Amino acid sequence: MYRYLTAALLATVIPSSFGYNLVREHAGQNFFDGWNFYGGWDNLTNSQVWWLNEETATSAKLAYINDAGHAIMKVDNTSVLTQGQKRSTIRIESENLYDLGSVWVVDMVHMPFGCSVWPAFWTKGPVWPNNGEIDILEAINLMTSNQMALHTTQGCTHPAPPTGAQTSHNGGQDCGTGDGCTVQETADNSYGTGFNNAGGGVWATQFDASGIFIWFWSRPNVPQNLQGATSSTLDISSWGPPSASYASSANCNVTEYFSPQQLIFDIALCGDWAGVDSIYRSQCGSAGPTGDCYQDMVLGPGSGKYDEAYFEVSYVRAYTDGTPTPTATPQTTVTSTALATTTPSIAVNQNTASSAGVESSPLLFTNMVVLAAGFAAAFYTLTLV
């Protein structure tokens, strides 16, 4: 009886459309085609990094294809930084935006990890938070499990789904707050050393009018149809319940809160989550003499401290259920980089060419405050550590 009930509940939250076609693959020597490198300091989460442009990232060997044919995106672990400098890392955003009716699959062999390190693989629409954000992989410092989340404007909530609909722990329920509505992964080895020692793993995200569903498998558990050579079609019906199930409902209709999404990889250091004093100290306070994220980790030599701070990605694949096809990123105008007060650790004038020199802007300030307030909250994290 219980089984039937569960099956019936699942039927209501797992979409009926199971057939997907490959529309884009990032893999091998061409992995970096179709991504835009950020090319600026982190004016989004106030982290102590400079996200290099493509040319600098390539010449500094912080973004490259390794001998295994995998994409490496890493933190600079060779420079010695002095007070005021930011450490160079990578943030890339897909040129394609994917509409409802998509599945994105990422296969990683290694993820960035360690004190101060804040990696993420996530998606967002062109306007934040109005167009929604999906955090597929995101955690900080010495956390041992991944935290998934949605971020939206006010009005979208995520009460605990019916038993059996999602395999992981429901966290904060209000997607409109700073931390978003979170789900804590309960499968083993979803983050950090555990993930890396297990040989990595795979996340798949279904972005559908019926909801947003995120699956995670550590390497030994990756389903058959995601192993081996690329297939032009994908059937997700055998995957079972996802780690996180954000089914569209009266609490939150995905079609109302999410526009087409672009995919993003980034690595931040310290900043509005990993670097918040109380959070950082509880996990990494004894990692250096001062207990301060920036002083103890980012400054001085990168060698040793950031040797594990890299993504090694074997592929990103995007599938759609037929229509519509992905669209190109809308052109945005670069307004200013004048707020940058520090220099990148690899000093090349990569960021001045397009600077228009806007000194201050109320809108910019508002955005910063909203973002800072958003990421700084992180009360949920406190309960984790």
Ligand X SMILES: *[C@@H]1O[C@H](CO)[C@@H](O)[C@H](O)[C@H]1NC(C)=O
| Amino acid code (one letter) for 234 | L
Helix or strand (DSSP H, E) at 247: strand 244-247
For position 248 contacting ligand X by CB under 6 A, the verdict is yes
Helix (H, G, I), strand (E, B) or coil at 2: helix
Answer yes or no whether residue 231 interacts with ligand X by CB under 6 A.
no
**Within 205-269, where are the H helices?**
254-257
Residues with Cβ within 8 Å of 114's Cβ and at least 6 positions away in sequence, in order, are 141, 142, 305, 306, 308, 309
Q: Give the pairing type, strands 40-41 and 35-37.
A: unpaired
Q: Among 114-122, 154-162, 260-268, 361-369, which window interacts with ligand X (CB under 6 A)?
A: 361-369
Only segment of 138-146, 259-267, 270-278, 360-368 that touches ligand X (CB under 6 A): 360-368
* Non-local CB neighbours of 317 within 8 Å, separated by 6+ positions: 22, 24, 25, 26, 27, 104, 105, 230
Segment contacting ligand X (CB under 6 A): 149-157, 183-191, 199-207, 333-341?
333-341
Q: How far is the CB of 3 from ligand X (least distance, A)?
A: 25
- 335 contributes a contact to ligand X by CB under 6 A: yes
Q: Is 249 in the site for ligand X (CB under 6 A)?
A: yes
Q: For residue 320, which of 10, 25, 5, 3 has the smallest C-alpha distance?
A: 25
345 binds ligand X (CB under 6 A): no
Q: Of the listed pieces 28-36, 217-225, 285-293, 362-370, which binds ligand X according to CB under 6 A? A: 362-370
In sequence order, the 6+-apart residues with CB closer than 8 A to the CB of 232 are: 21, 22
| 259 in contact with ligand X (CB under 6 A) | no
- 40 lies in the site for ligand X, by CB under 6 A: yes
- Residues shown for the chain: 385
Check binding of 253 to ligand X (CB under 6 A). Answer: yes
State the catalytic residue, choosing from 93, 133, 185, 312: 133
303 contacts ligand X (rule: CB under 6 A):
yes
Q: Is 138 a catalytic residue?
A: yes
Supply the minimum distance, in Å, between the C-beta of residue 20 and ligand X: 21
Other CB atoms within 10 A of residue 125 CB: 18
The active-site residue, picked from 93, 138, 308, 312, is: 138
Residues that bind ligand X in the complex, under the rule CB under 6 A: 40, 43-44, 77-78, 248-249, 253, 255, 303, 307, 310, 334-335, 337, 364, 367-368
The catalytic residues are 133, 138
